[in-house]
Amino acid sequence: MSQTLAQKLVARAAGRSSVAPGEIVTCKVDLAMMHDSSGPRRVKPMLERLGAKVWDPGKVVVITDHYLPAYDDESRNIIRIAREWVREAGIDSFYDAQGICHIVLPERGHLRPGMFVVGGDSHSPTGGAFAAYMFGVGATEMLGVLVTGEIWLKVPHTIAMEFAGKLGAGVSAKDVMLFLIGRFGLDGGQYQAVEYRGDAIRELSMQERMTLCNMTAELGGQVGLIASDSVTREFLKTEIEIWESDADAPLLAHHRFNAGELPPQVAAPHSPANTKAVHEFRDVKPNLAYIGACTGAKLEDLRMASRILKGRKSKIRLLVAPASLRDQQSAEREGTLQVLLDAGAELLANSCGMCAGYGEHLLPEKAVAISTTARNFKGRMGAASAQVYLASPYTVAASAVAGRVCDPREMLA
């Protein structure tokens, strides 16, 4: 029976040769990832009440990213609990203040094609960029995984999003996702598997693929997937198994687009679904630009911004929070970071920060911001009266230079 990539991954985890959409199966978990906000402070007391221990400490990864830098009693306590619990539970894979979990997990080699992974965060579908079945779960579900190493799953249908051709200059994976969310809405993924296909997707770097799969959460899918290939192999620097859908596997829907026709996109407050082409917002004048988060401050994202900012100055306040320490160090070595600083950027910590509504740089009352984050819900990044526009690193950088929402292609010509 022909199988989609999602079906193949679930079947492997369930110990089956094949599965059908709608079936409920029990899957063995290859890896469980938690961060400081969703992890130890939630599961530690529940494990203690049960008198239970972690089924396999070698298959658990804990990363601190939400409550850093710790600046008050609450954040210091949350970080302390995480640090103490990993020692108590025997968790060796603990990354403390190394960056955002969705970026640190693959950069430290924990993801491989074919894996079945759960994460204690809604943006866990990022792992699907590596042809791994990875999705977000709540603390109660994570508790079950930690104790048993298993989780039940309703086998999803697959929705294919195919982009033929090639993305134009100044257009990125963030624009692709904002376009899809604007087109299909926040529930367009119907909590199914969304598979990204086509020549334009194949040409994307791994970090760009990570952006696509990450924001499957905003599209309403359970998991976002991209078949493994030579790009995956090069990023992981090891031989890999090719996981892909059978050509004739049945799909719930198959949507086709021409990548070359896609202009830069911007989402207006207060939803990623409020997306239109960038020229629709030329009269919007933000007073702050933010390049941060797992969808907007990876090394590739910082490079995009630097292509715009090189030799230019930001007219508005520009904050940059690199998504991981390693990416920041790479950007520093190659000169990318210096370009951003020369343009007037203020460098923030390698953490979720404003995107998670945490820290000392939240948006004040009536602020107007343009941001590379994944969400712009009312009050998420600070004051409820603040207005947040979502865009790619290209567009955020161009808007910072212009002092208004600007098509980055104007500065790349």
pLDDT interval class at 1 (50, 70, 90): confident
What is the pLDDT at residue 198? 98
The answer to whether residues 413 and 401 touch, using CB atoms and an 8 Å cutoff, is no
The answer to whether residues 132 and 29 touch, using CB atoms and an 8 Å cutoff, is no
pLDDT interval class at 359 (50, 70, 90): confident
pLDDT of 188 strictly over 90: yes
Tokens 């598997």 correspond to 193
Instruction: List helix spans (H) across 149-215.
Output: 173-184, 199-202, 206-214
**Rounded Cα distance, 391 and 125, in Å:** 20
The answer to whether residues 259 and 162 touch, using CB atoms and an 8 Å cutoff, is no
| Percentage of the chain lying above the pLDDT 90 cut | 98
What is the pLDDT at residue 117? 98
Q: Residue 324, SS3?
A: strand
pLDDT of 408 strictly over 90: yes
**Rounded Cα distance, 280 and 143, in Å:** 46
pLDDT digits (tens, 9 = 90+) for 82-109: 999 999 999 999 999 999 999 999 999 9
pLDDT of 51 strictly over 90: yes
Mean pLDDT for 242-260 is: 98
Mean pLDDT for 174-191 is: 97
pLDDT digits (tens, 9 = 90+) for 305-354: 999 999 999 999 999 999 999 999 999 999 999 999 999 999 999 999 99
pLDDT digits (tens, 9 = 90+) for 108-142: 999 999 999 999 999 999 999 999 999 999 999 99
Rg (CA), the chain: 20
The answer to whether residues 340 and 297 touch, using CB atoms and an 8 Å cutoff, is no
What is the pLDDT at residue 35? 98
Amino acid type, 203: E
User: What is the CB neighbour count within 10 angstroms for residue 357?
Assistant: 16
What is the pLDDT at residue 360? 83
Opening angle at CA 64, ends 60 and 69, nearest 5: 175
Instruction: List helix spans (H) across 195-323.
Output: 199-202, 206-214, 216-219, 230-236, 299-309
pLDDT interval class at 268 (50, 70, 90): very high
User: What is the CB neighbour count within 10 angstroms for residue 361?
Assistant: 19
State the span(s) of the chain assigned CATH 3.30.499.10: 5-257, 265-412
Backbone φ and ψ of 247, nearest 5°: -60, -35
pTM of the model: 0.97
pLDDT of 413 strictly over 90: no
Query: What is the CATH architecture assignment of 5-257?
Result: 2-Layer Sandwich (3.30)
Opening angle at CA 82, ends 321 and 136, nearest 5: 70
| Percentage of the chain lying above the pLDDT 70 cut | 100
Domain 265-412 CATH class label: alpha beta
The answer to whether residues 54 and 25 touch, using CB atoms and an 8 Å cutoff, is no
What is the pLDDT at residue 141? 97
**Rounded Cα distance, 293 and 219, in Å:** 17
pLDDT digits (tens, 9 = 90+) for 16-41: 999 999 999 999 999 999 999 999 99
**Rounded Cα distance, 199 and 204, in Å:** 9
Amino acid type, 44: K
pLDDT of 15 strictly over 90: yes
Pairing status of strand 60-64 against strand 93-96:
parallel
**Rounded Cα distance, 96 and 81, in Å:** 12
**Rounded Cα distance, 324 and 68, in Å:** 12
Pick from 295, 342, 298, 291: nearest CA to 321: 291
What is the pLDDT at residue 218? 98
Query: From start to end of 114-226, where are the E strands?
Result: 116-119, 133-136, 150-154, 158-164, 193-197, 223-225
pLDDT interval class at 361 (50, 70, 90): confident
Q: Which residues contact 75 (CB under 8 A, 6 or more apart)?
A: 67, 68, 358
181 φψ region: left (φ > 0), alpha (ψ -120 to 50), beta (else): alpha
**Rounded Cα distance, 398 and 354, in Å:** 21
